[in-house]
Amino acid sequence: MAESAGTNWAGNHEYRAKGVLHPASAEDARRAVLRALDAGGRLRALGTRHCFNDIADTSGELVAMTALPPRFELDEAARTVTVSGGARYGDFAEQLDARGWALPNLASLPHISVAGAIATGTHGSGDRNASMAAVVAGIEFVDGTGALRVLRRGDEDFDGAVVGLGALGLVTAVTLDVVPTFQVAQTVYVDLDWSTVLDNLNAITSAAYSVSIFTRWVGGVQQIWLKRVVGDDSLQAPETFLGAAQATEKRHPLPGVAADSCTDQFGVPGPWYERLAHFRLAFTPSSGQEIQSEYLVPRERAADAVRALLPLSERMAPVLQVAELRTVASDGLWLSSAYQRDVLGIHFTWKRDQAGVEAVLPAVEGALFPLGARPHWGKVFLDPDHAVPSMYPRFDDFRALVAKYDPHGVFRNAYLDRLLA
Ligand SMILES: Cc1cc2nc3c(=O)[nH]c(=O)nc-3n(C[C@H](O)[C@H](O)[C@H](O)COP(=O)(O)OP(=O)(O)OC[C@H]3O[C@@H](n4cnc5c(N)ncnc54)[C@H](O)[C@@H]3O)c2cc1C
C-alpha cells in the first residue's frame, strides 16, 4: 500500500506524505477516511500533481484521486456532464466533442485533473470566460466524517465548497456545464511595444474569445495569442494586429522552445479542446523545468499593475522564462480569485530556482498586493504579512465550512494551517 509519495509535477516540492492510497471507488475513498479517523491520521486528495507549492501535501497519506474509475455521464437536457474527480480534462474532451458538446473554456493544458483544477480556482482566458470552477454545477465528495455528500449549484454551501483547496473532502465526481461544441482558430502575433499595449489593453483582451499576452517584460510584448470562435468572431484573423505582424512560424510561449507541444496556430480551425489549451495532451506542457506564480488583479487596476511591474523587469529577468497576461470573468465562488470581480491574471513562468524566485517575489507582491491582487492558490506565493484571507470577503464563512465538513481536521495540512491560522 504505502509507497514513496514522490514530488509534484515541477519537482520543486517533495511530498512529505507517508504514502499514496489508490481508491478504486468512492466507497474505497470513504473507507480510507474512516480508517484515518479511527487512527487519528490525516489524508489529502492528490490530483495530477501540477501545483507548485505544498497545497496537496499531508503529514498522513495522499489519496490518488486519478485512480478512481472513469465516469462520463452526459445529461443533454440539463446540459451537464459528470466525470470522475480524478479525470483529466484531456481524458474526456474528445468524447464530449464527439457527442456535440464542449466546455466553454480550458486552462493552458489539458493534463490537469478536474477536481484539482477547480480546488485552486484554475482558469483560462477571455473577458467573458469565468474560471474552470465557475462552470461546476455539482460536486460529490467524501467529507471528513466519512459521509458522501452532494452539493449542487444553488445549495447553501455550494459557492464556498467548489474552490475548496482540498479542505472539505475527497471530490469523487464533478458535474460541469456544457455548451454546444464549437471550433476555434488560433493566430499568434509578434512584438508590440508597451505603450501600444497599455493604451489598448482592453481592446487587446476583447479582440477574441480567449487572448493571451506573453512578455518577458524587457523589450515589450513578444507574443499575443488570439483564439477566435469560428463563426462568431470573424474567422479571418487580421493581417496585422495593432501593427503587430502574424508569426510566420509556429510559436511556443517560451523563447527558443520548439512548438511541437503547442496546439495548432496560423488560424487553422479546430475543435475547442485542440485550441483553447496552449499545449497538447501527448506532450510535456510549458517547459517542464519551471516554477510558476500568478496574481490576479481587478480589471480596473490592470494597466496600473503592468506599470508597477515594469520597473522590476531587470530584477525579474535572471529567473524569468516568460510572463502571461490573461483575463478572467467574475464569479460568485467564495475563494475564487475572480470572486465578484473581473480580473487580469499576471502569470510568471520562472526558472526552476526556488531561492531565486523567492528572492524576487517580495518585490512582485509589494507591487501587486496594494492593487488588490490575489495570488493563485496552486502557485508559489509568499504573503509574509498573512494578507490573503483579508482579500476574500467570505473567508470567515469558508473557515466555518471547513469546520463543518472536516470537524476532526483529517484534511488539514501545513498549507491550510498557515492559511486558516
Ligand atoms: C504546466 C502548467 C500549466 C498550468 N496552467 C495553468 C493555467 O492555465 N491556469 C491556471 O489557473 N493554472 C494553471 N496551472 C496550475 C494548475 O492548474 C493548478 O495547480 C491545478 O490545481 C492543478 O491540478 P492538479 O490536479 O494537478 O492538482 P494537485 O496539484 O494534485 O492538487 C491541487 C489541490 O487540489 C486538491 N485536489 C486535487 N484533487 C482533488 C480531489 N479529487 N478532491 C479534492 N481535492 C482535490 C489537492 O488536495 C490540492 O489541494 C498550471 C500548472 C502547470 C504545471
How many CB atoms are closer than 10 A to CB 225? Answer: 25
- Residues β-bridged to residue 326: 345
Q: Are residues 58 and 76 in the same domain?
A: no
Residue 307's alpha-carbon distances to 311, 358, 389, in angstroms, are 8, 21, 26
**From the CB of 244, is ligand 1 less than 6 Å away?**
no
Residue 122: exposed, middle, or buried by beta-carbon count in 10 A (0-12, 13-18, 19+)? buried
Domain span at residue 114 reads 69-180+395-420
Please say whether the beta carbons of 246 and 240 come within 8 A.
yes
Q: Where are the alpha helices (DSSP H) in 106-222?
A: 114-119, 158-161, 194-199, 201-205
| 130 vs 158: CA distance, rounded Å | 17
What integer best gives the mean pLDDT of the chain? Answer: 96
Indicate the length of the chain as a whole number: 421
Q: Which three cell numbers stand for residue 328?
A: 478572467
- Looking at the fold, whether 117 and 165 belong to one and the same domain comes out as yes
Strands annotated E in 299-332: 320-328
Give the pLDDT of residue 4. Answer: 82
Distance, CA of 365 to CA of 379 (rounded, Å): 13
* Residue 174 maps to a domain: yes
Q: How far is the CA of 286 from the centre of ligand 1 (A)?
A: 15
| pTM of this structure | 0.97
pLDDT at 234: 63
User: 88 in ligand 1 pocket by Cβ < 6 Å?
Assistant: no
Do 91 and 102 lie in one domain? The reply is: yes
Give the tens place of pLDDT for each residue, 99-121.
999 999 999 999 999 999 999 99
CA dihedral (236, 110, 302, 397) in degrees, to 10, reads: 140
- Summarize the confidence of residues 156-176 as an average pLDDT: 98
* Domain end call among 66, 92, 125: 66
Confidence of residue 233 (pLDDT cuts 50, 70, 90): low
143, 97: one domain? yes
Q: Do 164 and 86 share a structural domain?
A: yes
What is the pLDDT at residue 232? 77
Q: Examine residue 83 and state whether it is found in any structural domain, yes or no.
A: yes
Beta carbon of 112 within 6 Å of any ligand 1 atom = yes
User: Are the C-beta atoms of 172 and 65 separated by less than 8 Å?
Assistant: yes
Boundary residue ending a domain (30, 47, 66): 66
**Residues 105 and 150 placed together within one structural domain of the fold:** yes
Whether residues 79 and 150 fall in one domain: yes
CA of 31 to the centre of ligand 1 (A): 25
**Atom 27 in ligand 1: residue holding the nearest Cα:** 116
Question: What is the pLDDT, as a whole number, of residue 97?
Answer: 98
- Give the whole-angstrom CA distance, residue 399 versus residue 416: 10
Judged against a pLDDT cut of 60, whether residue 2 lies above it is answered with no
Q: Tell me the C-alpha to C-alpha distance, in Å, between residue 55 and each of 47, 49, 61, 132.
A: 11, 10, 14, 18
Q: Are residues 133 and 103 in the same domain?
A: yes
In a domain, 101, yes or no: yes
Residue 166 in contact with ligand 1 by CB distance below 6 A: yes
Best residue for ligand 1 mutational test, from 13, 42, 51 (most atoms within 8 Å of Cβ): 51
Same domain, 52 and 109: no
**Total structural domains within the chain:** 2
Examine the pLDDT at 49 and tell me if it is beyond 80.
Answer: yes
Position 3 scores a pLDDT of 62
In a domain, 52, yes or no: yes
| Bridge pairing between strands 19-21 and 61-64 | parallel
HEC letters along 50-80: CCCCCCCCCCCEEEEHHHCCCCEEEECCCCE
79 and 173 both lie in a single domain: yes
The alpha carbon of 168 and the centre of ligand 1 are apart by a number of angstroms equal to 16
101-105, 263-267, 295-299 — which is least confidently predicted?
Answer: 263-267
Q: Are 322 and 252 in contact (CB under 8 A)?
A: no
Q: What is the pLDDT of residue 284?
A: 85
Domain boundary among 6, 41, 66: 66
Please give the sequence-ordered ranges of beta strands (E in DSSP) within 270-342, or none if there are none.
Answer: 270-271, 291-298, 320-328
C-alpha cell, 122: 484554475
Q: Are residues 59 and 160 in the same domain?
A: no
Predicted pLDDT at 1: 45
Across residues 182-211, what is the average pLDDT? 97
Q: Which of 123, 160, 150, 167 is nearest to 333 (CA)?
A: 160
Q: Has residue 126 got a pLDDT over 90?
A: yes
